[in-house]
Every structure is written in structure tokens, then in C-alpha cells.
Amino acid sequence: MKVLVAVKRVVDYNVKVRPKADGSGVELNNLKMSINPFCEIAVEEAVRLKENGVATEIVAVSIGPQQAQEQIRTSLALGADRGVLIKTDQDLEPLAVAKCLKAICDQESPDIVLMGKQSIDGDNNQTGQMLGALTGYPQGTFASELKVDGGKATVTREIDGGLQTVSLNLPAIVTTDLRLNEPRYASLPNIMKAKKKPLDETSPEELGVDVAPRVELLGVELPAERSAGIKVANVDELLDKLKNEAKVI
Amino acid sequence: MSILVVAEHDNSHLKAATLNAVTAALDIDSEITLLVAGSNCSEVASEAASVVGVGKVLLADNPAYADRLAENLAPLIAEIAPGYSHVLAPATTTGKNILPRAAALLDVQPISDIVSVESADTFKRPIYAGNVIATVKSADPIKVLTVRTTAFDAAPTEGGSASVEPLDITHNAGNSAFVGEELAVSERPELTSATVVISGGRGLASSENFQMLAKLADKLGGAIGASRAAVDAGFVPNDMQVGQTGKIVAPDLYIAVGISGAIQHLAGMKDSKVIVAINKDEEAPIFQVADYGLVADLFDVIPEMEQKL
Ligand SMILES: Cc1cc2nc3c(=O)[nH]c(=O)nc-3n(C[C@H](O)[C@H](O)[C@H](O)COP(=O)(O)OP(=O)(O)OC[C@H]3O[C@@H](n4cnc5c(N)ncnc54)[C@H](O)[C@@H]3O)c2cc1C
Ligand SMILES: Nc1ncnc2c1ncn2[C@@H]1O[C@H](COP(=O)(O)O)[C@@H](O)[C@H]1O
């Protein structure tokens, strides 16, 4: 069984980004870049499927600039078998990413596509669902548990009211939530080994994918600042302020 | 222009989040159609028909839509969407699950989590965990949007008189099935619409200690939330997580107890009207967004508050 994992290169989650001085976009120069945390969970889940004898091959795919190779190499060090970089210097929208991934699905015929539920830069939460539409595969989004057995994936999903379980025919798409697993660290020997694993390169053009943007970014701004608050000395003062100043209790 | 809003419901009642999406739709145009897709859900359609501002309700009552599986609902939405300029749904886990799938069938790039309508094609939305707000303009013929419910008031539920039109369209992909659900039952108000939210973090140290917060919440008529660390530690279930990747709340009063204030947590609560932080570390970043900060041990403060209220 083949598993495809989509990994995105994003600004590290510890970095607090700011708008560029002219407000045209987000200042990204010289920031620490990492694998999107949800994608790391997707890779870990794929590796566990392989360790449990369910998966036989893991292909890690990333769409992005040449440097996105780093995130593919990280995935290879964590246990993926080979990588595919779909190289583009354009910042692709989820629809275009989904179309690129659809083209890879056509080539690779995976049984399961594991993805993050959300990229922490654009906070879109769209690509897995859109790939589902384009491939016709069913989707198990926001997964906190995945079982694969007898041609089906059973996915426990984190929904607003609690948990929901669905059963999906394979091939299927699963997007990860934070509690699906805790990703391992790559060991030094595995990082060395990852350098020798195959990493193919292609491009949206080569895949025949139209990546023309549909949404224009007119600008970015900081959210409304909260005015500085005060420290209260004790519970009595707190309750007094909440009653008589803020009038919320 | 006419706008389709996908109603969220459980086959018996309309969910409140739908009402915020209706208000967002009314910011774009006045002609609103609500789609109620489910099974044995005619009661929901009647509720939908009385929401102020709704002109028409489409009722797709079919066993295939009983569990709102994206594989069946997305093609239904995509089939009727071309009659509308915009398709909206609340940015709940249901809306986020279904709408992008429908958008891809329409070859449209959807826009998630809008917090304001600038014009019919231009919207604001938070990115990077709410650290910046982007203004984006869609060039697609149909705009597909999910709505951050805390950014729009709820439309009134009584006073409208929309017509209900049955819709006889079946999509049953047959490749997915609902197995079961474990829904939290609580007497307390729902987290995302409560006027008071009391959230606990890793500082609470155990599931038992959350009972302290529960007592306080009961006194204040509030809901209980949590940081991811508290959920990860197993103190409380996942549906209580507030933050970038949990629920977004904006109550009148948010009390953060034993929560450090990581950006991912702030993303889910910093639009609250009044924020109180209780933390024993005076350097905790949560104090930077708190209107009232109390540097103290929560195990002293919470029982005292409860007793004095
Ligand atoms: C991709 C990603 C997504 C994330 N999404 C979310 C999200 O949606 N929501 C979320 O909350 N987090 C999220 N996180 C996690 C986030 O980064 C933080 O790790 C988390 O919010 C920390 O939770 P905490 O404040 O409870 O714990 P800590 O950071 O450990 O803080 C505990 C606090 O309790 C205080 N404390 C301890 N004991 C006491 C006491 N007796 N009295 C008073 N104070 C006390 C301490 O001083 C400390 O400030 C995400 C992380 C990642 C990587
Ligand atoms: N450029 C990309 N390259 C690889 N995978 C991506 C890319 N963009 C999005 N994805 C996948 O889609 C998931 C959800 O992203 P998004 O819809 O942007 O929130 C991510 O966690 C990745 O698994």
C-alpha cells in the first residue's frame, strides 16, 4: 500500500510575523522556516502505518521553491522513502496546490493521501478537501485517530461538538489534527541516510496544471491592538473592577 | 445578486452559527437563500424560514444527507451554486469540511474565515494565527466563503417568513459512511456563543482541578474552555480547545487561568471584550492582552472568587 504525504514549507510556528512596511504583504525575509506542524504529524502517521506493516511505500511531496527540498529531506529523515518537489517560485493557492497534488495522484495512485488539516501561515484549511473533490476520493478531515484495514480507513474526526467517526473506502484523503500522534525527532543516522534517498523534481508546467491566482492580496495590516491593561492586587479588587468598571459580572 | 448560505443543523434544530453567516451574507446583499440539507429535517427548514433576512429556504431532505458527509453534500452545493453570486457557510468544523470540497468542484478558490465584508468581492481574514489581517479580492465568478462567527452578530431567529422549497437532488457518492459520534453533553452554554468563558491551562495540573473552574463557571453562567496543553495532557476533551486550531471565542468576559498566552492560544480569544488573566508568573505573555491581570496562585484565587461571587 502506497501513502502520499503532502508537506508544506512555512514560517516556523514560534515566529511572530509582521506586515512589510508598505503593507503589501507579510515580511518573510530571513525568518526561520520549518515543515508545517500538521504536515509533520502526517509524515509521522505515514511512518507508523509503515512500521505497522500497513504501508509499504511513503512518498513525500512538496510544492514550493527550491528550498522546500529541506522539508522533503526532513520527511525522508523521519521515514519517507522518496520525495517529489513540484518547483515553483509563485506562492500557490490551495486550489492550485490541490491540482498539482491531483496530477501526482494520477501518476502514483496512492491508497492514502495524508495531509495537514491546515497550514499555519495561510490558515486556509482547504487543500485536503479540495484534493478530495478533484480526485473523487473520500475525505477524513481533522483526524485524531486512523485505522486502516480491509480496504477501508476508519477515521476519528475532531468536530466542534466532540468526536465523529467515519469509514472511508480507499483510496482516501486524511487530514491530521494535533492529537493524531506526537512526531518523533529524526536521528542523525537517519538524516544522513535521507540525503541518499531519491528526490525527483517537476513543476506545475510539466504537470500541465494551471496555477493562475484567483484571489488577489490587496494588503495586510496588524489586528487592532488591545489597550494595555492593569494588574490588580487581589480577588476583591478584581471582582470590584469586573462589576463596577467593566460591568461584565 | 443572490446569496446561498449553507445552514448548519443536526436534523432537528438550526445551529446558532448559521445566524452569524446570515448576517455576513446580508453585508453583501439582501437576497438570501438558506440551504437546509439533511434527513427528516423539515423542522429545521421551518426554523430557517423564520430567521430575519432569509428570503427562501431550500430543503434537500434525503437519507444521503443525514450525516452531512462532505462526499454527498459538496456535489449538491456545487450543483445549485451557479444560480448564486456567493456561497457562504459558518467556519465551523462542518463548514470547513464541506465548503472547500464544493468550491473545488466549481473550480473556485474559496476564502476561509472572513471577519469583514469590504465589498461584494473583497473581504478581510486573519492569517498567521491572527498576527496579521489580510484584505483579499476574489476574481472567481462565484465567491465561496466561510464566516468567522465571532465577527458577525447573530441574525434574529423570529420575524422572518421565507418560503420553503423542496429540492429533489440526490448525490450519494457511496465511498464514505458515518460510523458514530461522541458528543459532549453539557448544561453550560456553548463555548463559541457564551458571554462568559473561563479557560484553564496546564497550570490546572489535573482533570479534577477543572472542577474548580466548573463551579466558578456555574456562578457566572459561563462556558469552560482550555488551552491545547490542557487538552493534550488529557485534563479535558478536545472540543474545549480555544485557539488557532481550536475554537474561536469572543465573549464579553474571558478568564484565562493558568494559561501562559502562546500566540496560538491568543488567536482564539483575543477579540474577547474583557480579558482577565490569572497566572503566578508575572512575565507570562497572557498579561500583555489582559485588561485585568492577577499575579497569584490559581489554587488560592479560584476558590476565593467562587466564594465571593
Ligand atoms: C500548530 C500548533 C497549533 C496550536 N494550536 C493551539 C491552540 O489552538 N490553542 C492553544 O491553546 N494552544 C495551541 N498550540 C500550543 C501553544 O503553542 C502552547 O503550547 C499552549 O497554548 C500552552 O498551553 P498553556 O498555556 O496551558 O501551558 P504553558 O505554556 O505550560 O503555561 C502554563 C501556565 O500556567 C501557569 N501556572 C502554573 N501553575 C500555576 C498556578 N498554580 N497558579 C497560577 N498559574 C500557574 C504558568 O505560570 C504558565 O504560565 C498550538 C501549537 C502548535 C505548534
Ligand atoms: N505548497 C504545499 N506543498 C505541499 N503540501 C501543501 C502545500 N500547501 C498545502 N499543502 C497541504 O495541505 C494542507 C492544508 O493546507 P491549507 O489548505 O493551505 O491550510 C497542508 O498541511 C499540506 O499537507
pLDDT in tens, A131-154: 999 999 999 999 999 999 999 999
What is the value of ipTM here, to two decimals? Answer: 0.96
Establish if A169 touches chain B: CB-CB under 8 angstroms.
yes
- Pocket flag, ligand 1, residue B206 (CB < 6 Å): no
Residues 38-77 of chain A whose Cβ lies under 8 A from any Cβ of chain B: none
| Mean pLDDT, range A38-61, rounded to an integer | 98
Q: Which residues contact A140 (CB under 8 A, 6 or more apart)?
A: A146, A153, A155, A157, A166, A168, A172, A173, A174, A175
The model's pLDDT over A62-78, given as tens digits with 9 standing for 90+, comes to: 999 999 999 999 999 99
Q: State the Rg of chain B over Cα.
A: 21
> How far, in Å, from the CA of B117 to the mean position of ligand 2?
26
Residue nearest to atom 21 of ligand 2 (CA): A116
User: Is the CB of A95 less than 8 angstroms away from the CB of B301?
Assistant: no
β pairing state of B3-6 and A139-149: unpaired
Classify B190 as helix, strand or coil: coil
Establish if A163 touches chain B: CB-CB under 8 angstroms.
yes
Q: Could you give the percent of chain A with pLDDT greater than 70?
A: 100
Ligand 1 atom with the shortest distance to the CA of B226: 11
Which residues sit with their C-beta closer than 6 Å to ligand 2? Answer: A 6-8, 36, 38-39, 42, 62-64, 92, 94, 97, 115-116, 118-119, 122, 124-128
Order of strands across the sheet with B32-38? B111-114, B143-147, B86-90, B3-6, B32-38, B54-61, B163-166
Residue A116 has pLDDT above 90, yes or no: yes
Mutation target for A interface from B71, B172, B232: give the one with most A CBs within 10 A: B71
Considering only alpha carbons, which residue of chain A is nearest residue B251? A248
Element (H, E) at A163: strand A162-169
Residue B272, all three cell numbers: 474577547
Q: Which residue has the cell 459538496?
A: B74
* Torsion angles phi and psi, residue B70, rounded to 5: -60, -35
d(CA A83, CA A200): 6
Q: Which residue has the cell 432537528?
A: B12
Geometric angle at alpha carbon A93, from A92 and A98, rounded to 5°: 95
User: Is the CB of A218 less than 8 angstroms away from the CB of B104?
Assistant: no
A139 forms bridges with which residues in the sheet? Answer: A173
Give residue A165's pLDDT.
Answer: 98
Give residue B148's pLDDT.
Answer: 97
Q: Could you give the percent of chain A with pLDDT greater than 90?
A: 98
Considering only alpha carbons, which residue of chain B is nearest residue A119? B128
A192, amino acid identity: M
Q: Which residue has the cell 535521507?
A: A194
Classify A234 as helix, strand or coil: coil
B207, amino acid identity: S
For residues B16 and B154, the answer to whether their CB atoms sit within 8 Å is: yes
Q: What are the chain A neighbours of B127 within 8 Å (beta carbons)?
A: 26, 121-123, 220
User: Is the CB of B180 less than 8 angstroms away from the CB of A164?
Assistant: yes
Considering only alpha carbons, which residue of chain B is nearest residue A136? B71
Q: What are the chain A neighbours of B101 within 8 Å (beta carbons)?
A: 129-130, 132-133, 139
E strand spans, chain B: 3-6, 32-38, 54-61, 86-90, 111-114, 116-119, 122-127, 132-138, 143-147, 163-166, 176-183, 196-200, 223-226, 253-257, 274-279, 292-295
Q: What are the chain A neighbours of B103 within 8 Å (beta carbons)?
A: 95, 126, 130, 133
Establish if A125 touches chain B: CB-CB under 8 angstroms.
yes
Establish if A97 touches chain B: CB-CB under 8 angstroms.
no
E strand spans, B14-131: 32-38, 54-61, 86-90, 111-114, 116-119, 122-127
d(CA B165, CA B35): 10
Spell out the per-residue pLDDT of chain B, length 309, in tens.
799 999 999 999 999 999 999 999 999 999 999 999 999 999 999 999 999 999 999 999 999 999 999 999 999 999 999 999 999 999 999 999 999 999 999 999 999 999 999 999 999 999 999 999 999 999 999 999 999 999 999 999 999 999 999 999 999 999 999 999 999 888 899 899 899 999 999 999 999 999 999 999 999 999 999 999 999 999 999 999 999 999 999 999 999 999 999 999 999 999 999 999 999 999 999 999 999 999 999 999 999 999 999
Q: Which residue has the cell 458527509?
A: B69
d(CA B144, CA B131): 24
For residues A2 and A110, the answer to whether their CB atoms sit within 8 Å is: yes
B97, amino acid identity: N
Residue A225 has pLDDT above 90, yes or no: no
B166 forms bridges with which residues in the sheet? Answer: B59
Q: What are the chain B neighbours of A220 within 8 Å (beta carbons)?
A: 127, 132-135
Residue in B8, B4, B10 with CA at minimum distance from that of residue B19: B8
Q: Which residue has the cell 477524513?
A: A140
Ligand 1 atom with the shortest distance to the CA of A36: 1
User: Is the CB of A221 less than 8 angstroms away from the CB of B132?
Assistant: yes
Maximum C-alpha span of chain A: 68
CA torsion A20-A24-A30-A32 (nearest 10°) is 100
> How far, in Å, from the CA of B268 to the mean position of ligand 1?
13
Give residue A34's pLDDT.
Answer: 97
Give residue A226's pLDDT.
Answer: 85
- Pocket flag, ligand 1, residue B247 (CB < 6 Å): no
pTM: 0.96
Q: Which residues contact A150 (CB under 8 A, 6 or more apart)?
A: none
Geometric angle at alpha carbon A148, from B77 and A58, rounded to 5°: 95
β pairing state of B196-200 and B253-257: parallel
Q: Is the bond preceding A171 in cis, omega lying within 30 degrees of 0?
A: yes
Give residue B63's pLDDT.
Answer: 98
User: Is the CB of B136 less than 8 angstroms away from the CB of A218?
Assistant: yes
